[in-house]
């Protein structure tokens, strides 16, 4: 099952748990399962049906392009990180092509 | 991937394809552009750092002879609170638009308020003085800690701090808070034998590109808009202009002219939408040029910052815990590079327990823009100084402590990702083995310092098209602005695939209508990603040429092999033909061959650098002389070693300027008092020794030739390395940048 690293700023929702293993074949399913286990998580991560501006999703260390629709492998490692503002010379440029 | 792969073209040093044009002055830059009926634009800028715009009356200027059009924010579509994805993450469109032409408030001295198009630049300038703007002047906030105070004047009444999806209730100048945590920092510090904590302050610094911003816009009655300009990315200009003007992207063509430097500062748009707006209003082509003062006051520098770093280590030199607090000035609108700074600050080291907090804070200065490894230089100034102090306290060689704690493949960074194959340790070893490090350096007031740096590098989208010519050459069409010789480094990767000389490739950087989408030249991505696209396009050509050879020899394609520029038949026929000779027979085998490659690679690989510097400190004048400088860097694979060396040397020089001289100096009202190259002191060749470079090659598994980006990481170590050298020379820890003569004399106690 995918392995999710809980960002330190969200650990108040997980009683301090730093990482969890959850079922899911897409980021959306993983977030739904996170919400089921830790109510309030989805509201921190999503806005309507997409990842919030300001949050980036990494799968196995690589920024996802498909965001919430991204398909993930069974042993994927997922990180929710602050999306970086401030320009292109940065590691987290595209986050969700539907933002516009 | 073999680390010792042999190449024919890669690793050689051909003359760059644009070299003759550049050295003979024939290369065309934006300011050179001419077109019939050209009008000249000029921007009116705010004299106040913080003020409410009460009214703008343009009637006197409109009546001035020669004036053809005036625009203000009222001519821009209302951006409301829309969020746009402009290839640089989510961007609040109102902030983007308000920075182009202020709507309600001016937020920094130099903020654009209106623009005039006239028949001459002088008339346009004169007309600007006839625009009457009534301001309600407000108190400015010019420093990050001051801006974070609860009672600080607010720049934006609706800005509230966000913290990973959570928004605060009350407005604040703190736009966002981020945090990375790994392990248990408190436990790590308890295990340490030595703990050191210091505060650091860095100044506002400009990229200092020699060519000011420029833009010429032409609006056709059929609705098509063309913009000729200096930019690091024609496609991002197209996207930003489309969003700001709410205009169809398909009707905008951006033509990148040659660029006289950018270093991250020519990604954001400033006068391009203004030129477009003036062209649309007047129906004439309009050229807008910045002067140097406009560039300093009206474009994005890199932020000033306040940083607090704490690190602990055992007697044996093992770093057990590290903490950092980074507060970066975003300028007038949110979006400082505090994120990358936070991600880079301890990245060269494998530290078990880490806590990093970052704050993005608005102040009444120009909206910051990227500058070569944005955020990382500020951050490393703190961490690399503390590590030096730990080494000194523990009586461990400063390179040795870096080797003991250095990050390797499989280690996890504090922000989460696990390193693939990286070459940090190799850069430290290269520095340690360099004759510079063994050379005597014991004279009075002479000192030696070292520091390391890390930068992510990025991938992103790149597209390349290759047209095969009948004479055996190829025309390579790309969308990456050439900064630092990338035409050559991209062409060489295609040449390597096709077994032809680099000189047989004719590279062209073209407009947004003429090549597939290509992201900016930035993030040290061009030789990596556009080179990758060139590799793929050349592979496409190779596949098609194999089919042509098979057709020529009437054999199956599987019976044709290609190596070293020669096609040969492997089914018993003794057929052989060179790439060049096969090109001459394209007509009889099916016609033209066009190859294309589009990539969006995720494996940019990180870049590390380790620097050694010797300085002499004059205790009477406070001047720091750079005596010797050696920079080692992992380039993955150096496609064109001369241009890798050039990037390293250029980065070091900019880092030296940042360390010793460069900063925006403001008066109490928020006016920059040194907005010219006479007063904003950048280093020249007279200030510098030869920068010695050592290219380390640890291939990046994310690129077919092992390339890692090289442009940004060399700017990161110099301020810390020089601060450490100053300490070695005079026993004073400098914690504020720049380490100018005045600050040094104060620290020494001379004044």
| pLDDT, tens digit (0-9, with 9 covering 90-100), for A14-37 | 999 999 999 999 999 999 999 999
Query: B134-160 pLDDT, tens per residue?
Result: 999 999 999 999 999 999 999 999 999
Domain total in chain A? 1
Distance CA B344, CA B336 (A): 14
The verdict on B507 touching A (C-beta cutoff 8 Å) is: no
Token digits for B611?
A: 């620097």
Confidence of residue A61 (pLDDT cuts 50, 70, 90): confident
Please check whether residue A87 is in contact with residue B374, taking contact to mean a CB–CB distance below 8 angstroms: yes
B712 Cα to chain A: minimum distance (Å): 9
Residue A49: the pLDDT is 84
User: Pick from B75, B34, B48: which is nearest to B140 by CA?
Assistant: B48
Q: What CATH number does the domain containing A56 carry? A: 3.10.20.30
CA separation for the pair B127, B529 (Å, rounded): 46
Residue B348: which of B605, B694, B609 has the closest Cα? Answer: B609
- Mapping DSSP onto H, E and C, the string for B438-498 reads HCCCCCCCEEEEEEEEEECCCCCCEEEEEEECCCCCEEEEECCCCCCCHHHHHHHHHHHHH
Distance between CA atoms of B240 and B455, rounded to whole angstroms?
26
Q: Looking at B583, B599, B615, which one is the last position of a domain?
A: B599
- Which pLDDT score, from 0 to 100, does residue A88 have? 39
Same domain, B483 and B446: no
The model's confidence at residue A97, banded by pLDDT at 50, 70 and 90, is very low
CATH number at residue B529: 3.30.365.10
Rounded to whole angstroms, the Cα distance separating B531 from A64 reads 22
Comparing CB atoms, the residue among A65, A84, A89 nearest residue B522 is A89
Give the pairing type, strands A77-82 and A3-5.
parallel
Let me know: does B726 contact B735? Beta carbons within 8 Å.
no
The residues near A98 (Cβ < 8 Å, ≥ 6 apart) are A50, A67
Instruction: Report the 10 Å Cβ neighbour count for A29.
Output: 16
Is position B546 within any domain? Answer: yes
Indicate whether B529 belongs to any domain: yes
Q: Which residues in B lie closer than 8 A to residue A42 (C-beta atoms)? A: none
Question: Residue A90 domain-assigned?
Answer: no
* DSSP 8-state assignment for residue B724: H
β B474-478/B505-509 pair status = parallel
- Minimal CA–CA distance to B365: which of B536, B148, B110? B110
Q: Using the beta-carbon criterion (under 8 Å), do A86 and B83 form an inter-chain contact? A: no
Measured torsion, CA atoms of residues B581, B587, B591, B597, in degrees rounded to the nearest 10: 10
B348 alpha-carbon distance from chain centroid: 20
Residues B507 and B448 in one domain: no
Chain B residues 227-256 with a CB less than 8 Å from chain A: 232-233, 236, 243
Express as a percent the part of chain A with pLDDT over 90.
55
Strands A19-21 and A3-5: antiparallel
Is residue B102 domain-shared with residue B241, that is, in the same domain?
yes
CB-based contact B330 A87, cutoff 8 Å? no
Tell me: pLDDT of B653 over 90. yes
pLDDT band, very low/low/confident/very high, at A67 (cuts 50, 70, 90) = confident
- Note the pLDDT tens digit of each residue in B616-628: 999 999 999 999 9
- pLDDT reported for residue B2: 40
Is residue A37 domain-resident?
A: yes
If you average pLDDT over every residue of chain B, what do you get? 96
In whole angstroms, give the CA distance from residue A53 to residue B381. Answer: 30
Contacts of B339 in chain A (CB under 8 A): 82-86, 90, 92
Mean pLDDT across B219-234: 97
Query: In terms of DSSP bridges, do strands B225-229 and B252-256 run parallel, antiparallel, or are they unpaired?
Result: parallel
Q: Are residues B575 and B628 in the same domain?
A: no
**pLDDT averaged over every residue in chain A:** 80
Per-residue tokens: B273: 């939408």
Residue B378 has pLDDT above 50, yes or no: yes
How, if at all, do strands B132-137 and B51-57 pair?
A: antiparallel
Q: Tell whether B703 is covered by a domain.
A: yes
Q: What is the ipTM of this complex?
A: 0.85
| One domain, residues B335 and B390 | yes
Which CATH number belongs to the domain containing residue B281 in this structure?
3.90.1170.50
Please say whether the beta carbons of A45 and A18 come within 8 A. Answer: no
HEC string of B108-155 equals CCCCEEEEEEECCHHHHHHHHCCCEEEEEECCCCCCHHHHHCCCCCCC
Question: HSE on the CB side for B498, CA within 13 Å?
Answer: 37
**B contact test, residue of A89, A93, A99 with most B CBs within 10 A:** A89
CB proximity A19 to B under 8 Å: no
Question: Per-residue confidence at B3, pLDDT binned at 50, 70, 90?
Answer: low
Shared domain check, B405 and B316: yes
- In this prediction, residue B90 carries a pLDDT of 62
Asked which of B122-126, B202-206, B353-357, B412-416 is least confident by mean pLDDT, the reply is B412-416
Between chains, do A5 and B416 touch, taking CB under 8 Å as contact? yes
Q: What residue numbers bound the domain in which B700 lies?
A: 305-457+605-748
Mean pLDDT in residue range B111-128: 98
Residue B592 CB: number of other CB atoms within 10 A? 11
- How sure is the predictor about A56, in pLDDT bands with cuts at 50, 70 and 90? confident
One domain, residues B573 and B497: yes
* Rg (chain B; Cα; Å): 27
How confident is the model at residue A48, as a pLDDT?
A: 82
Contacts of B177 in chain A (CB under 8 A): 9
Provide the greatest CA pair distance for chain A.
37
Please name the member of A8, A85, A88 whose beta carbon is closest to the beta carbon of B181: A8
Total number of domains constituting chain B: 3
Let me know if residue B154 belongs to a domain.
no
Q: Tell me how far the alpha carbon of residue A80 is from its chain's centroid.
A: 4
pLDDT digits (tens, 9 = 90+) for B149-201: 999 999 999 999 999 889 999 999 999 999 999 999 999 999 999 999 999 99
**pLDDT tens column, B90-116:** 678 899 999 999 999 999 999 999 999
Residue B174 within any structural domain of the chain: no
Averaged pLDDT for residues B728-751 = 96
Q: How many CB pairs under 8 A join A and B?
A: 162
Predicted local distance difference test score (pLDDT) of residue B88: 47
**Pairing verdict, β A62-63 and A55-59:** antiparallel
Structural domain including A64 reads 3-82
Is B292 within 8 Å of B214 (Cβ atoms)?
no
- Residue B449 sits in the same domain as residue B463: no
Do B366 and B228 reside in the same domain of the chain?
no
Give the alpha-carbon dihedral of B681, B682, B687, B691, to 10 degrees: 160
Residue B12 has pLDDT above 70, yes or no: yes
Q: What pLDDT score does A66 carry?
A: 63
Average pLDDT over residues B532-549: 98
With a CB-CB cutoff of 8 Å, which residues 68-97 of chain A face chain B?
79-97
Residue B210 has pLDDT above 80, yes or no: yes
**CB-based contact, B690 to chain A, within 8 Å:** no
Q: How far is CA B511 from the centre of its chain?
A: 21
User: Are the CB atoms for A4 and A22 separated by under 8 Å?
Assistant: yes
Residue from B213, B718, B341 nearest A89 by CA: B341
Q: Is residue A69 part of a domain?
A: yes
Running DSSP on this structure, what letter comes out for residue B676?
Answer: S
Contacts by B578-584 with C-beta closer than 8 Å and gap 24+?
Answer: B578/B472, B579/B472, B579/B498, B579/B499, B579/B500, B579/B545, B580/B471, B580/B472, B580/B500, B581/B472, B582/B545, B582/B548, B582/B549, B582/B552, B583/B468, B583/B469, B583/B470, B583/B471, B583/B472, B583/B473, B584/B470, B584/B471, B584/B472
Distance from CA of A5 to the nearest CA of B (A): 8
From chain B, the residues in CB contact with A76 under 8 A are none
CA distance B140 to B713: 34
Provide the pLDDT for residue B271. Answer: 98
Confidence grade of residue A95 (pLDDT, cut at 50, 70, 90): very low
| Residues ≥6 apart with Cβ < 8 Å to B685 | none
Neighbours of A96 (CB within 10 A): 25
In a domain, B320, yes or no: yes
**Could you give the CA distance from residue B204 to residue B365 in angstroms, rounded to a whole number?**
9
* Band (B27; pLDDT cuts 50, 70, 90): very high
The answer for residues whose C-beta is within 8 angstroms of residue B591's C-beta and 6 or more apart is: none
First to last CA, chain A: 33
Over 60: is that where the pLDDT of B541 sits?
Answer: yes
Render pLDDT for B578-604 as a digit per residue (tens, 0 to 9). Answer: 999 999 999 999 999 999 999 999 889
Are the C-beta atoms of residues B284 and B39 closer than 8 Å to each other?
A: yes
Task: Quote the DSSP letter at residue B619.
Answer: T
Dig out the tokens for B539 from the structure. 């592979």
DSSP letter (8 states) at residue B529: I
With contact defined as beta carbons under 8 Å apart, do B83 and B36 qualify?
Answer: no
- Residue of chain A minimizing CA distance to B81: A100
Q: What's residue B386's pLDDT?
A: 98
Q: How far is A23 from chain B (nearest CA, A)?
A: 20
Same domain for B586 and B616, yes or no, is no
Residue in this structure with the two tokens 């000729």, named with its chain if needed: B228
Quick check: is B205 in a domain?
A: no
Confidence of residue B442 (pLDDT cuts 50, 70, 90): confident
pLDDT-derived band at B58, boundaries 50, 70, 90: very high
Same domain flag for B417 and B330: yes
- Looking at the structure, tell me whether residues B42 and B115 fall in a common domain: yes
pLDDT digits (tens, 9 = 90+) for B452-506: 999 989 888 999 999 999 999 999 999 999 998 999 999 999 999 999 999 999 9
Confidence band, pLDDT 50/70/90 cuts, at residue A54 = confident
Examine residue B200 and state whether it is found in any structural domain, yes or no.
no
Residue of B80, B84, B87, B89 for testing the chain A interface, max A β-carbons within 10 Å? B89
pLDDT at A98: 24
Residue A57 in domain: yes
């Amino acid at each position: 099952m995918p392995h999710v690293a809980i960002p330190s700023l969200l650990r108040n929702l997980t009683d301090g748990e730093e990482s969890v293993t959850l079922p899911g074949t897409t980021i959306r399913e993983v977030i739904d399962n996170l919400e089921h286990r830790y109510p309030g998580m989805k509201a921190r991560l999503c806005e309507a049906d997409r990842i919030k501006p300001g949050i980036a999703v990494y799968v196995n260390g690589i920024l996802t392009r498909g965001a919430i629709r991204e398909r993930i492998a069974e042993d994927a490692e997922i990180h929710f990180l602050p999306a970086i503002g401030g320009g292109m010379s940065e590691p987290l440029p595209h986050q969700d092509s539907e933002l516009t | 991937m073999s680390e010792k792969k042999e190449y024919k073209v890669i690793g050689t040093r051909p003359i760059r394809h644009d070299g003759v044009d550049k050295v003979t002055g024939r290369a065309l830059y934006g300011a050179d552009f001419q077109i019939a009926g050209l009008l000249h634009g000029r921007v009116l800028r705010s004299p106040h750092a913080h003020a409410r715009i009460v009214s703008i009356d343009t009637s006197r200027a409109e009546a001035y002879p020669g004036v053809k059009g005036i625009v203000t924010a009222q001519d821009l579509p209302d951006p409301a609170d829309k969020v746009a994805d402009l290839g640089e993450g989510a961007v609040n469109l109102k902030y983007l638009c308000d920075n182009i032409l202020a709507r309600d408030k001016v937020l920094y001295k130099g903020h654009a308020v209106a623009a005039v198009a006239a028949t001459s630049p002088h008339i346009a300038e004169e007309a600007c003085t006839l625009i009457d703007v009534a301001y309600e002047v407000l108190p400015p906030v010019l420093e990050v800690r001051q801006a974070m105070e609860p009672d600080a004047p607010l720049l934006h009444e609706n800005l509230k701090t966000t913290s990973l999806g959570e928004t605060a209730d009350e407005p604040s100048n703190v736009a966002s808070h981020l945090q990375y945590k790994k392990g248990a920092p408190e436990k790590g510090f308890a295990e340490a034998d030595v703990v050191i904590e210091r505060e650091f302050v860095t100044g506002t610094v400009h990229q200092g590109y020699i060519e000011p911003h420029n833009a010429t816009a032409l609006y056709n009655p059929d609705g098509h808009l063309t913009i000729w300009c200096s930019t690091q990315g024609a496609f991002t200009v197209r996207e930003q202009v489309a969003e700001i003007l709410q205009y169809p992207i398909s009707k905008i063509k951006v033509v990148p002219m040659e660029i006289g430097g950018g270093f991250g500062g020519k990604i954001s748009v400033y006068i391009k939408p203004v030129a477009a707006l003036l062209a649309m209003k007047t129906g004439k082509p309009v050229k807008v040029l910045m002067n140097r003062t406009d560039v300093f006051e009206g474009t994005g520098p890199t932020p000033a910052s306040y940083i607090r770093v704490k690190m602990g280590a055992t007697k044996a030199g093992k770093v057990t815990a590290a903490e950092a607090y980074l507060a970066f000035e975003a300028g007038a609108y949110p979006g400082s590079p505090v994120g990358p700074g936070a991600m880079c600050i301890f990245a060269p080291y494998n530290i078990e327990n880490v806590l990093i907090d970052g704050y993005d804070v608005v102040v009444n200065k120009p909206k910051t823009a990227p500058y070569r490894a944005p955020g990382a230089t500020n951050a490393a100034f703190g961490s690399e100084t503390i590590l030096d102090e730990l080494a000194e306290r523990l009586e461990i060689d400063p390179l040795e402590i870096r080797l003991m704690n250095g990050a390797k493949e499989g280690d996890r960074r504090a922000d989460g990702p696990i390193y693939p194959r990286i070459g940090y340790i190799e850069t430290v070893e290269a520095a340690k083995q360099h004759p510079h490090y063994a050379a005597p350096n014991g004279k009075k007031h002479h000192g030696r310092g070292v520091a390391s740096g890390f930068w992510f590098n990025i991938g992103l989208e790149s597209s390349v098209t290759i047209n095969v010519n009948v004479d055996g050459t190829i025309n390579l069409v790309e969308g990456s602005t050439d900064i630092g010789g990338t035409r050559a480094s991209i062409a060489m990767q295609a040449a390597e695939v096709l077994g032809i000389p680099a000189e047989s490739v004719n590279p062209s950087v073209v407009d947004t209508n003429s090549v597939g989408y290509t992201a900016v030249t930035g993030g040290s991505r061009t030789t990596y990603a556009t080179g990758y696209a060139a590799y793929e396009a050349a592979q496409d050509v190779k596949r098609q040429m194999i089919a042509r050879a098979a057709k020529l020899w009437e054999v199956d394609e599987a019976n044709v092999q290609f190596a070293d520029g020669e096609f040969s038949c492997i089914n018993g026929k003794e057929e052989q033909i060179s790439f060049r000779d096969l090109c001459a027979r394209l007509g009889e085998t099916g016609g033209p061959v066009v190859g294309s490659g589009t990539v969006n690679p995720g494996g940019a690989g990180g870049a590390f650098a380790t620097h050694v510097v010797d300085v002499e400190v004059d205790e009477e004048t406070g001047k720091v002389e750079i005596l010797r400088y050696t920079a080692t860097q992992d380039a993955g694979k150096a496609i064109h070693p001369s241009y890798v060396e050039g990037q390293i040397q250029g980065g070091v020089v900019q880092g030296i300027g940042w360390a010793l001289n460069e900063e925006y100096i403001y008066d109490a009202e928020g006016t920059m008092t040194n907005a010219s190259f006479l007063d904003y002191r950048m280093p020249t060749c007279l200030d510098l020794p030869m920068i010695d470079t050592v290219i380390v090659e640890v291939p990046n598994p994310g690129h077919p030739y092992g390339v890692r980006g090289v442009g940004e990481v060399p700017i990161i170590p110099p301020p810390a390395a020089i601060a450490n050298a100053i300490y070695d020379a005079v026993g004073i820890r400098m914690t504020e940048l720049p380490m100018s003569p005045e600050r040094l004399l104060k620290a020494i106690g001379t004044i």
